Chains A and B, each alone.
Chain A
Amino acid sequence: MNVVEASGLGKRYGSTWALRECALAIPAGHVAALVGPNGAGKTTLLNLAVGLTAPTAGTVTVLGGRPAGSPAALDGIAFVAQNTPLYKNLSAADMLHLTRNLNRRFDQGYAQARLGELGIPLKQKAGNMSGGQQAQLALTLALARRPRLLVLDEPMAMLDPLARHDFMATVMTAVADDGVSVLLSSHVLAELERVADYLILMSRGTVQVAGDVDDLLACHRVLTGPAAEAGRHAEQLSVVHARHGAAQAHLLVRTSGAADPVPPGWEAHPVSLEELTLAYLREPGAAALPGPARARYAEPTEVTK
């Protein structure tokens, strides 16, 4: 089952396409990170997936084919929007009661226990809580709905490092305990690197890279060798990004596996997720779309597998 599946998905605001020709299939059971610079279309994609926005073109379904925004989709997805909007004049207890009334399922015991652990008094108004507490309250409300897909839009943008850690700990506990699938966006990869096992890179309104993190790392490597030869080798390799020093060049390349030959005089190194991400973000023209998304991608570029 795919928790999110999009094909030909596009969203236009006025004359600007916030998202174009998006093809995506995120399998269930992952913590999927949606990474890209500001304005890449991350929030647009998430809003489309949770049904807040209607697409201009194409389709998006969730949780195995349910149309985004349909009652069945809303029932199974919990969404925490950017800046975790809460009713500032309502207390934590009121927010719990509100969410309970608005959903078929609500685990009141879980929610109260979570808030107890976090030291958030039930009587405290949401508007008087710290940013970290508000984020935790919003997350608790979402998880108490017992969703099958948890969607988080820039959940940690406003949080200090400690609050970020606590927030992700709550998410990962839910993943371990309930097997909830997670899709979260961020413009900072660092905060997701430890937790994400599926990566979607976006830039300029298109999906650039999508795939299992282990698969992505396995099919990329960095080649280091004399700068003078770099140009010659680059023609034969799928170079994502080249970094030239005075004497040495570093080429981040796509390979079909560890068995690919290394040019004589060059060294191959495994790539880190951060290096990989940065390389693609620096080269918005490059794309790597394995899995179901690849088949639907209309115009493969030269570096598409």
Chain B
Amino acid sequence: MTTLTVPAQPGQDTSPRPVPWRRMAWVTWRQHRLALAGVAALFGVAAVYLLVTGVQMHHAYAAVAACRPAGSGTCRGVADNFLNTYAPGVGPVLGLLQVIPALIGAFAGATVLARELETGTFRYAWTQGFGRTRWTVAKLVPLAVTVTVAAGAFSVLVSWYVQPIFGAGDENGPLYPTIFDLRGVALAGWTLAAFAIGALAGILIRRVIPAMFATFAAWAGLAFVTGWFLRRHYEAPLVTTNPNFAAPAWVLSRVWTRGGQPASLSMINQTLRPIDVQAVTPGQFQPGPAARAGINPVNYLAQHGYALLTTYQPDSRFWPFQWIEGGWLLALSLLLLAATVWLVRRRAA
């Protein structure tokens, strides 16, 4: 049957030495340098904005920090003036920065595998001598490390940027949802998680645009659930009945009780009628035209058998919470990346 004899090289070819890992470095760089440039541009633009406005804010804050004696009414006025000027601008900026991990997950993470599968180039890439499992690892790991480190560096800048706002005693402390996840290790953790979500969405969905949207949706869902439901349970919240509680803390809820039972706003307003004050929320009161000055509604309610239960997480738990969040995000990301590699190994074509 055999008309041509192929020169066999027994032993040598049956278990070839693998292609060295470092050879993939150029491949990953060449194919993803545009995405990495996009990540750099994203962080770059945001960093320039934070630096420019941050320097301005730090200049203005110098007057607040220099005010003596600290804690006096005059100084409180200076600080409030500073906050009234700058805090309204900081909120939206922090809101915008929230989407950075999602953008990285969608543009740098979801495209890695989805583009190969959508254009059919995986048939080229996965039949080369390097091997598809190693190819996947050699792409995902350096990209994941790069975006995570970049996010970690950026979060240091965010911390510097918001420092005057905390220093001036803003009501939203470092545990507040839209600032907590931009500082410490959380931003790096969220960026890594979004990248891992993107990678997994890429192999599961196999189309670039749908995978990007899925990444965005999955990240948004996870971030929302974490910020509004999960994070407050990292440690058991503290409860105080001090009606004038004002320690630096993330206040989770304020509830008036009477005789151990929660009291509704209408019940409270019934009690407050003689002094003509309306409770808008449990902590906010609106005096009416007949209200007498000098009567504190909180104290008035306390005198009438009410107790204000405040549930809160003290700001001192910032770092423990950061490590908890960073820890589970890292574990989740590793799990998602491992699942991605496993899927590449298992399914295809």
Report which residue of B2, B19, B120, B123 has the largest number of chain A beta carbons within 10 angstroms of its beta carbon: B123
How many pairs of residues, A versus B, come closer than 8 Å at their CB atoms? 122
Report which residue of B1, B2, B121 has the largest number of chain A beta carbons within 10 angstroms of its beta carbon: B1
Known: A29-B4, A52-B349, A179-B7. A103 touches B16 (CB 8 A): no
Does A191 make an interface contact (CB < 8 A)? Answer: no
Known: A28-B6, A101-B26, A102-B19. A86 touches B121 (CB 8 A): yes
Please tell me if the beta carbons of B130 and A103 are within 8 angstroms of each other in the complex: yes
**Among A91-99, A272-280, A281-289, A297-305, the stretch in contact with B:** A91-99
Please tell me if the beta carbons of A181 and B6 are within 8 angstroms of each other in the complex: yes
Does A8 make an interface contact (CB < 8 A)? Answer: no
Within the complex, which residue of A54, A71, A83, A105 is in contact with B346, where a contact is CB–CB below 8 Å?
A54
Inside 8 A of A148's CB, which chain B residues have their CB?
A: 6, 13
Size class of the B contact interface (CB-based, 8 Å): 35 or more
Known: A50-B127, A97-B26, A99-B128. A72 touches B14 (CB 8 A): yes
- Of chain A, the residue at the smallest CB distance from B16 is A75
Known: A27-B1, A72-B15, A98-B30. A52 touches B348 (CB 8 A): yes
Please tell me if the beta carbons of A102 and B6 are within 8 angstroms of each other in the complex: no
Interface residues of A in 169-189 (CB under 8 A from B): 175, 179-181
Please tell me if the beta carbons of A52 and B19 are within 8 angstroms of each other in the complex: no
Please tell me if the beta carbons of B30 and A81 are within 8 angstroms of each other in the complex: no
* Number of A residues with CB within 8 Å of any CB on chain B: 49
Does B5 make an interface contact (CB < 8 A)? Answer: yes
Does A167 make an interface contact (CB < 8 A)? Answer: no
Inside 8 A of B23's CB, which chain A residues have their CB?
A: 101-102
Known: A29-B6, A71-B18. A103 touches B128 (CB 8 A): yes
- Of chain B, the residue at the smallest CB distance from A81 is B123
Inside 8 A of B31's CB, which chain A residues have their CB?
A: 87, 90, 98
Flag A191-221 by CB within 8 Å of B: 1 or 0 each: 0000001000000000000001000000000
Shortest Cβ distance from residue B181 to the other chain A in the assembled complex, whole angstroms = 35
Please tell me if the beta carbons of B349 and A179 are within 8 angstroms of each other in the complex: no
CA distance A81 to B1 in the complex (A): 28
Shortest Cβ distance from residue B263 to the other chain A in the assembled complex, whole angstroms = 60
Does B27 make an interface contact (CB < 8 A)? Answer: yes
The interface residues of chain B, by DSSP majority, are classed as loop
Does B68 make an interface contact (CB < 8 A)? Answer: no
CA distance A105 to B130 in the complex (A): 11
Does B124 make an interface contact (CB < 8 A)? Answer: yes
Flag B108-138 by CB within 8 Å of A: 1 or 0 each: 0000000000011111111111110001000
Inside 8 A of B131's CB, which chain A residues have their CB?
A: 71, 74
Please tell me if the beta carbons of A72 and B348 are within 8 angstroms of each other in the complex: no
Flag B1-35 by CB within 8 Å of A: 1 or 0 each: 11111111000011111110001101100110000
Inside 8 A of A197's CB, which chain B residues have their CB?
A: 3
- Of chain A, the residue at the smallest CB distance from B17 is A104
Report which residue of A47, A53, A71, A86 has the largest number of chain B beta carbons within 10 angstroms of its beta carbon: A71
Please tell me if the beta carbons of B16 and A85 are within 8 angstroms of each other in the complex: no
Does A254 make an interface contact (CB < 8 A)? Answer: no
Shortest Cβ distance from residue A190 to the other chain B in the assembled complex, whole angstroms = 23
Does A250 make an interface contact (CB < 8 A)? Answer: no
The interface residues of chain A, by DSSP majority, are classed as loop
Report which residue of A28, A47, A101 has the largest number of chain B beta carbons within 10 angstroms of its beta carbon: A101
Inside 8 A of B30's CB, which chain A residues have their CB?
A: 90, 94, 97-98
CA distance A28 to B128 in the complex (A): 21
Please tell me if the beta carbons of A104 and B3 are within 8 angstroms of each other in the complex: no
CA distance A83 to B31 in the complex (A): 21
Inside 8 A of B122's CB, which chain A residues have their CB?
A: 52, 85
Can you name 11 extra interface pairs (CB under 8 A) apart from A94-B30, A97-B30? A29-B4, A47-B349, A72-B16, A86-B121, A101-B26, A102-B27, A103-B130, A104-B16, A104-B17, A180-B6, A212-B1
Instruction: Give 19 pairs: A residue, B residue, CB < 8 Å, sorted on A.
Output: A1-B6, A27-B2, A29-B6, A30-B3, A50-B127, A52-B123, A52-B127, A74-B128, A74-B131, A79-B127, A81-B120, A82-B120, A86-B124, A102-B135, A103-B128, A103-B130, A104-B17, A145-B129, A212-B1
**Residues of A in contact with B (beta carbons under 8 Å apart):** 1, 27-30, 47, 50-54, 63-64, 66, 71-72, 74-79, 81-83, 85-88, 90, 94, 97-99, 101-105, 138, 145, 148, 175, 179-181, 197, 212, 291
Q: Which 4 A-B pairs give the minimum distances between C-beta atoms?
A: A29-B4, A81-B123, A102-B128, A103-B129
